[in-house]
Amino acid sequence: MSEVESEILTLEEVAAYLKAGKRTVYRLAQKGEIPAFKLGGTWRFRRSELDRWIAESINKKKSEAE
């Protein structure tokens, strides 16, 4: 696994990466709708899992449109 694939991001970094609000990312994490885990009570995210989640979301929307 490369350094980028295993990179751990904070909630703030994910919000910037997704161009979404911090509250939105927090809510998605709480609901289990975005791949995340808690470390010491703070949400953390693996970049590789986020990229996979994004790709799956795009493919799902394409399938629904057909």
Length of the chain: 66
Per the DSSP assignment, residues forming a β-bridge with 37 are 44
Q: What's the total number of domains in the chain? A: 1
What was the pLDDT predicted at 2?
Answer: 57
The 10s digit of each residue's pLDDT in 20-66 is 999 999 999 999 999 999 999 999 999 999 999 999 988 877 677 66
Range of the domain at 26: 8-65
**Residue 15 placed within a domain:** yes
**Residue 2 placed within a domain:** no
CATH number of the structural domain spanning residue 24: 1.10.1660
CA proximity to 3, closest of 48, 35, 43: 48
**Residue 3 placed within a domain:** no
